[in-house]
Structure 1
């Protein structure tokens, strides 16, 4: 398999999508089940809600692929064209590719499908999402956090720009600011990990949040560091999903595999928590740290296997003309 050199920035960039996809596929068989025993070894045996083939990833990575394709093909992820491309890709996926889909995302797809292919599709989608939140519909699910990690790849030198993009892409489907704030924190964690090779960026991302929100999120991160992943069993909620993923990452600091397995053991929305954790872990440890058995098995819509996911991630770094990517292939900055 043709992957970037171990320890390189490209290795860590490729690890973002590969880590998410492998975490997703590892969690699929256990979705909505109870927390697993500490000695249980999760395996990519398929099944789940699909039912999925062994190694097949679910909606978490499917939607992340939609985002990554936009980043690869558009120089400015915040342009109207890029946002509409993403919204159209979500609608196309929901109609023809979704193996399962969360309640919030499904409602938004139904409510904005009439705008498919128009120059207003992203605006219509975001407005519908905002309206649901304003009407009191619970809109802080984990469905935007699970997919926004690839955004970091387009903003490796621009944390402020990444924060704006994470917010905008989250609001396409999730009008609750909590979902956007979670995406800002996690995307900054992913960006920092690709560039520097550590996970300090999650806490560093607090500075990118509104000042009056930083204390609340800092306390939630503290709580995650004090408890095991299964403590946050209501992990369909975006805050609990981030806490469960962060608990797994900080609780198993010595490699990709122990931490992604810990994320799966949290129970309930196992594929999503492991996909969220996997994106950060892949950015921290690189694609080279993911076991060959995972890389050989992982696959999914619309036909990607490991090497294709790695190429897509690197394409998201460089953009359509190759000019966006910096620090490519070099050591940690």
Structure 2
């Protein structure tokens, strides 16, 4: 096995770095077991290890428990409740294997241990390794990723490319920038400003676990860690609040103290006296304490506030039992793995590793690695101090630490964070039921997508340069052009009679500027395709993701079970992609 770069800053732990085996296949986690090295055991407090290991393993356990029913709605789980760890399902995983929640948490933990500090640039590098190579994946590939995260990582790659040109850093060195002076010049805030999905929270635990001795830094770094991929203020505050809860659990706070409605006020110095967003305050005051659970509005959705509330509800309603709480989180439905992974971080820190269900632990993937990593988190964390940190001198971190938006937030829609190819969990704009391509998938992403490894189309630029009339008026059943600010998803019964995609791909390229345009295109394939509109809408499949990331596997997940229908949809997508390329070529792009 070989590391990606011999100069990688692993601090004597090469097993933390990106490695490949023969055939350019990434080295999987279990294959690193023989390479693991451990810190001096007398330097690792056993009681703290129980909680740190419990938190990270609890995250992975919740993730694995919910993975096989990810995206299943609550009504399905009411009839078919999850009662044990299973294989198969949504991703076809082996029992105990985990998804993106745990993979990203391990990337984050690896960065903290390898760099012995909070270095957001290095964290993004490792997320990128996972995205592109399957680093820290349970299967060796990145098979599940939230849309906001994907967009942020693509943006990070573009910034790295620009940074290489500006600084003359070689390509094989760009992932291993060590100089604080260089880090000061790189903007690590790669997210759109209104991304508020639960992807920021699902991976959080390593930060408060590493810095718990300095609660004010643990809480602040928790917020900053989320903003690299989820830029909304509410995501930052959700991570700060949950990070504080994990710190308190690690320090031995009681169940009652953790769930006290005045927890925030009681720990105000930990928050640097900065107020939390009003929606997070509602959660902190106990909005999740609803005995009726789902019937009273608790939802395991992709919006970060709902995920936070759902995880805390599972913890609150299942006192004295990690297992009971994890099952409650999963059986809410929808984003099952992430809800349970968020629950598992706090519950694992509170209950400790020794109280995790043995019947599940025996099947968990990567146990030895996670145990070793947990020990290093404790060891390296206890050697960290604010005086030794390089991060505190990086302007982007300083600005994150001092900035606090006082603007109110509009209500969020119940969009899933992990639609395959996925949808960004963003603020719902006034007067819009869904975000358009122009607002959620930035034009920069669309313009670059054709050149990225996973992309094949650049419909935005192509359609804009075609002869088709630009959007101007609201959607009607007569197919007038649609304003990018109007997203009426209602369709008349005549929609299925629209022009066939084979005859007018250019027409639909323009229509795909909006979420409703995807529904229109889908129904143009035939009246029998109308049945798929609700599921496409539920996963917020817009034009950008339709052209770039929808494939046979994702169509199965979108409940397109008919093989002929899948083929016709994919053939239609290919026609749109070909039209994009034709328009680009004719315009010299």
**Would you say same fold, with TM above 0.5?**
yes
Report the Cα distance in structure 2 between the residues aligned to 1:237 and 1:125, rounded to whole angstroms.
25
SS in 1 for 2:94: coil
Check 1:25–1:100 CA distance in 2 against 1; reply closer, same or farther (3 A cut): same
- How well do the aligned residues superpose, as a CA RMSD in angstroms? 2.9
1:111 aligns with 2:155: yes
- The structural deviation recorded for 1:49 is 3.8
- Counterpart in 1 of 2:376? 315
Equivalent pair of 2:234/2:280 in contact (CA under 8 Å)? no
- Counterpart in 2 of 1:264? 330
- Counterpart in 2 of 1:220? 283
Equivalent pair of 1:229/1:263 in contact (CA under 8 Å)? no
* Equivalence map 1:75-154=2 (5 Å): 75-77=116-118, 82-97=119-134, 98-114=142-158, 115=160, 117=175, 119=177, 126-129=188-191, 132-133=192-193, 138-154=194-210
Gaps in structure 1 of 5+ consecutive residues? 300-304, 326-333
Check 1:223–1:109 CA distance in 2 against 1; reply closer, same or farther (3 A cut): same
Equivalent pair of 2:189/2:229 in contact (CA under 8 Å)? no
Query: Over residues 78-116 of structure 1, what are the superposed CA-to-partner deviations in whole Å (9 max), with x where a residue is unaligned?
Result: xxxx32221110111111112210010011111211316
- Counterpart in 1 of 2:59? 20
Check 1:102–1:48 CA distance in 2 against 1; reply closer, same or farther (3 A cut): farther
Report the Cα distance in structure 2 between the residues aligned to 1:308 and 1:149, rounded to whole angstroms.
16
Equivalent pair of 1:244/1:273 in contact (CA under 8 Å)? yes
Select the residue among 308, 333, 341 that pairs with 1:275: 341
1:157 aligns with 2:213: yes
- Counterpart in 2 of 1:56? 97
Check 1:220–1:324 CA distance in 2 against 1; reply closer, same or farther (3 A cut): same
Check 1:127–1:319 CA distance in 2 against 1; reply closer, same or farther (3 A cut): same
Query: Over residues 219-271 of structure 1, what are the superposed CA-to-partner deviations in whole Å (9 max), with x where a residue is unaligned?
Result: 22422112555333262000000000000000111121111111111110000
Report the Cα distance in structure 2 between the residues aligned to 1:127 and 1:218, rounded to whole angstroms.
25
Of the structure 1 ranges 42-51 and 255-264, higher mean CA displacement relative to structure 2 is found in 42-51
Equivalent pair of 2:223/2:238 in contact (CA under 8 Å)? no
Q: TM-score, normalised by structure 2?
A: 0.48
Check 1:118–1:279 CA distance in 2 against 1; reply closer, same or farther (3 A cut): same
Check 1:96–1:294 CA distance in 2 against 1; reply closer, same or farther (3 A cut): same
Check 1:215–1:128 CA distance in 2 against 1; reply closer, same or farther (3 A cut): closer
Equivalent pair of 1:6/1:288 in contact (CA under 8 Å)? no
Equivalent pair of 2:82/2:330 in contact (CA under 8 Å)? no
Check 1:174–1:122 CA distance in 2 against 1; reply closer, same or farther (3 A cut): farther
Report the Cα distance in structure 1 between the residues aligned to 2:145 and 2:317, rounded to whole angstroms.
30
- Counterpart in 1 of 2:234? 178
- The structural deviation recorded for 1:307 is 2.7
Report the Cα distance in structure 2 between the residues aligned to 1:215 and 1:83, rounded to whole angstroms.
27
Report the Cα distance in structure 2 between the residues aligned to 1:108 and 1:101, rounded to whole angstroms.
11
Report the Cα distance in structure 2 between the residues aligned to 1:258 and 1:75, rounded to whole angstroms.
36
- The structural deviation recorded for 1:121 is 7.8
Equivalent pair of 1:24/1:272 in contact (CA under 8 Å)? yes
- Counterpart in 1 of 2:48? 9
Check 1:52–1:124 CA distance in 2 against 1; reply closer, same or farther (3 A cut): farther
- The structural deviation recorded for 1:74 is 2.6
Report the Cα distance in structure 2 between the residues aligned to 1:154 and 1:251, rounded to whole angstroms.
28
Write 1 or 2 for the structure with the bigger share of helix.
Answer: 1
1:168 aligns with 2:224: yes
Gaps in structure 2 of 5+ consecutive residues? 1-43, 135-141, 161-173, 386-589
Q: TM-score, normalised by structure 1?
A: 0.83
